[in-house]
A = this chain, B = another copy of it.
Amino acid sequence: MTDFQNAPDLYYEDLAVSRVLRCGTVEVNREEMLDFAKRYDPQRFHLEEEAGNDSLFGGMSASGWFTAALTMGLMVRGEFRFGGGAVGLGIDELRWPRPVHAGDRLTATVEVAAMRPSASRPSHGVVKFVTTTRNQHGEVVMTKSAQVLVPRRPQARP
């Protein structure tokens, strides 16, 4: 993640449709993945190798919510950082096309798909970000389409 330690805080004015924000890489830690599953998604195929092998996943797999949480971590530690913070209004689509396994190395990219000033909050813009999470083979393990309130640069506010 070192590459992004000094990434600047962004504002709505820094974005443009098709701009891609980059993120670092995270390795899926087996203990952390199991701890997450025990707490939040204790289904057997997330907890036991054997049950995973018998499942549609072909091996013990991460909870999709763990992949979503890891991806958020990649984003906030990457270039997805905004002055005052970005507030998620909601997710329009979240997909997990392939399972995530312990030891996988994940990275993500975040593309600006659409943007407009907020009518109700002049201090913010509403940005549609499409995030794609890939494993070490370049295979897509998660896609997410989100509507996010992004702060406008203070001097640019109407």
Contacting residues, chain B, for A149 (C-beta < 8 A): 56
The stretch that binds B, out of A12-20, A89-97, A108-116, is A89-97
23 residue pairs A–B, Cβ–Cβ below 8 Å:
A36-B69, A39-B69, A40-B72, A40-B73, A42-B76, A43-B76, A43-B85, A43-B86, A51-B85, A55-B84, A56-B149, A63-B69, A65-B68, A65-B69, A69-B69, A89-B96, A90-B93, A90-B95, A90-B96, A91-B91, A91-B93, A92-B92, A94-B94
B72 touches A41 (CB 8 A): yes
For A59, what are the chain B residues with a Cβ–Cβ distance below 8 Å?
none
CB pair A55 B88 closer than 8 Å: no
Give the residue of B44, B85, B89, B121 whose beta carbon is less than 8 angstroms from that of A55. Answer: B85
- What is A's interface to B at a CB cutoff of 8 Å? 36, 39-45, 51, 54-57, 63-65, 68-70, 72-73, 76-77, 84-96, 121, 149
Q: Which of A51, A57, A87, A96 has the most CB of B within 10 A?
A: A87
Q: How far is the CA of A65 from the CA of B91 in the complex (A)?
A: 11
Which of A40, A43, A149: most chain B CB closer than 10 A?
A: A40
Residue numbers in B under 8 Å from A85 (CB-CB): 43-45, 51, 55
Do A55 and B87 touch (CB < 8 A)?
yes
Nearest-CB distance from A89 to chain B (Å)?
Answer: 8
B86, A96: Cβ atoms closer than 8 Å: no
Apart from A57-B87, A65-B69: 15 A-B pairs, beta carbons within 8 A: A40-B70, A40-B73, A42-B73, A42-B77, A43-B85, A55-B85, A55-B87, A65-B65, A65-B68, A65-B72, A68-B68, A91-B91, A91-B94, A91-B95, A92-B92
